[in-house]
Structure 1
Amino acid sequence: RDEFYDRPSAPADFWIKHPQVLAGMDLKEKGTWLGVTKEGKFAAITNYRDPASWKADAPSRGKLVSRYLTGSNNPEKYLRSIFKKAHAYNGFNLLLGDGRDLFVYENQGEVQKLSPGIYGLSNRLLDTPWPKVQRGKRLLKRALAKKGEELEDALFHLLADRRIPPDSELPQTGVGLEWERLLSSMFITSPVYGTRSSTVVLIGKNKRIRLIEKVYNGKPEPWVTSRFSFLQEKQS
């Protein structure tokens, strides 16, 4: 999760009002960026970078994640329910799963069911060939050859990658060259904006769900690490 350091947020935990939900929380709008539930639901959102179409009065995109996690709709039905009103929001991509299937809604596009495989999603569309997306997919493929702690370490190594590609490889999204450079690495650092947290979610064939989160907040190490592990409950 990349965000301005002064935007208040809470680390991942089970929510008091919705104890089946495990997620961080944006304390400004009360939404979230990524979360799971005890029943195996999964949701994550990324912003779609398009400063030319930015709307200052748009509703919070994080609420799209929290409403799915706290609601009863399946992924496809939920995504289709927001399809007609997606234009009211600033650009976003939304990934939703239910422990069986994974769906994606791409900015102002269609609802798509994903086949098993390796995908990359940043602040454009699914598998847009930005340098960090392509590099991330390569590192993910290598990581998935590992197991246990080695797998976890490899995934966080991927998320901590600070490689900045040459200017000639940078996308042109309308934010200017300085910001294109700043935003081009998987782990972002600057005096005011950067990677606030990194999260790994693992769902095993035995239905065990593991969520590990590292919170940074722009401060030097040691970072705060939280670990959660539980068996998926039967869906009602």
Structure 2
Amino acid sequence: MCIIALAYKTPALGPLVLLANRDEYYTRPALPLDFWTDYPQILGGRDVQAGGSWMAIDTRGRFAAVTHIREGRAVAAARSRGELVQRFVSGDDSALAYAAWLKAHTGDYGPFNLVFGQVNDLLHFNSRTKSLNRIAPGIHVLSNADMDTRWFKAEQLRQKMTTLKRPPADSEVLPWLMNPESAPPEQLPNTGIGSALEKMLSPVFIVGRDYGTRCSSIVNVSARGDVSFTEVSYGIGGRESGRRRHQLRIGQLRKTL
């Protein structure tokens, strides 16, 4: 994922409302949202090229989503960041035990942010600083910097999320994730990739020649543990290529610390 906005433990919206876009090369193959054949309790998309996932949840309430941290031109790493999502959601480690593993293995992966834990007890890990923080109730946005860094696209989603008075319908929030507005020059970040590329990557919804937003995700978790998960997929030029919606029931919400 390359931008994640979450309303977490808010009175009006309940345990979790999450909106996210995954940005990736158009040629990188992926499977759309579904229950996994090898882990039937897990729901999420899957990366075909290297395995793993950008976001997934299971019937125990274990959840994980990853974004990369942008620091100049990307350098190939030994392992895919999508493994981090699959490893946590399919595993049995507590969140704190997994965080200790993350700290010991950050060098195997490109720079990353990981949101993970039980859906009612989420943590954020930043691989660059090796910092671990419990996510506080409220509205948060995570892109390719640290949590709540005020990039243009992050602030656009944050402002939209603050208008919600109830758990939203997909049709209400999907246009927010499809917003192609670029940041004005004075609001572009400087991550070492040059102003032209910074501008191309500055919208919530990215459309590039060979890279762009590949899917939008909408997750709603109710107090009873009912989860609705919608994914809209896109191809070259940002054209919609598929839409899926699944539901699951979390057996029992519990902390993983």
* TM-score normalized with structure 2 length: 0.85
State the partner residue of 1:164. 182
Residue in structure 1 matched with residue 63 of structure 2 by the alignment: 42
| Contact 2:124 2:135 survives alignment (8 Å) | yes
Aligned equivalents of 1:146, 1:100: Cα separation in 2: 18
CA offset at residue 103 of structure 1?
0.1
Q: Measure the CA separation in 1 of the matches of 2:232 and 2:77.
A: 31
Gaps of 5+ in 2: 1-21
CA distance in 2, matches of 1:59, 1:221: 30
**Structure 2 counterpart SS, 1:2:** strand
Tell me the distance in 1 between the aligned counterparts of 2:150 and 2:167: 28
**Do residues 83 (structure 1) and 121 (structure 2) align?**
no
Relative contact order (alpha carbons < 8 A, sep ≥ 6): 1 or 2 greater? Answer: 2
Match of 2:165 in 1: 145
Letter of the 1:155 partner, please give it.
V
Residue 117 of structure 1: which of 116, 129, 138 is its match? 138
What does residue 10 of structure 1 align with?
31
Say if 2:141 is the partner of 1:101: no
Q: CA deviation at 1:223?
A: 3.6
Amino acid at match of 1:108: R
Shift of 1:222: 4.8
Tell me the residue number matched to 1:186.
204
1:76/1:111 contact within 8 Å kept? no
Runs of 4+ deviating beyond 3 Å: 219-223
> What RMSD in Å do the two structures reach over aligned CA positions?
1.7
Q: Give, in whole Å, the separation in 2 of the partners of 1:128 and 1:120.
A: 8
CA displacement 1:50-92 (0-9 Å, x = unmatched): 136x432431111011000110112232122211221332110
- Kindly indicate whether the alpha-carbon contact (under 8 Å) linking 1:140 and 1:158 is maintained by their aligned counterparts in 2: no
Runs of 5+ in structure 1 lacking a partner? none
State the partner residue of 2:5.
none
The structure in which a higher percent of residues are strand is 2
Post-superposition Cα deviations, 1:100-145, rounded to whole Å, max 9, x if no partner, equal: 2010001322111111111110001111111111111111111x21
Q: In the superposition, relative to structure 1, how do residues 45 and 83 fare at CA in structure 2: closer, same or farther (>3 Å)? A: same
SS at match of 1:184: coil
2-structure distance, mates of 1:232, 1:57: 34
Question: Structure 1 stretch 7-16 or stretch 56-65: which is displaced more?
Answer: 56-65
* 2:91 equivalent to 1:67: no
TM-score, normalised relative to structure 1: 0.92
User: By how many angstroms is 1:225 displaced?
Assistant: 0.9
| Number of positions where the alignment pairs a residue of Structure 1 with one of Structure 2 | 232
What's the CA shift string for 1:170-226, capped at 9, x where partnerless? 001111111101100000001211000000111001210110000012256554110
Identify if the C-alpha distance between structure 1 residues 137 and 148 changes in structure 2 by more than 3 Å, giving closer, same or farther: closer
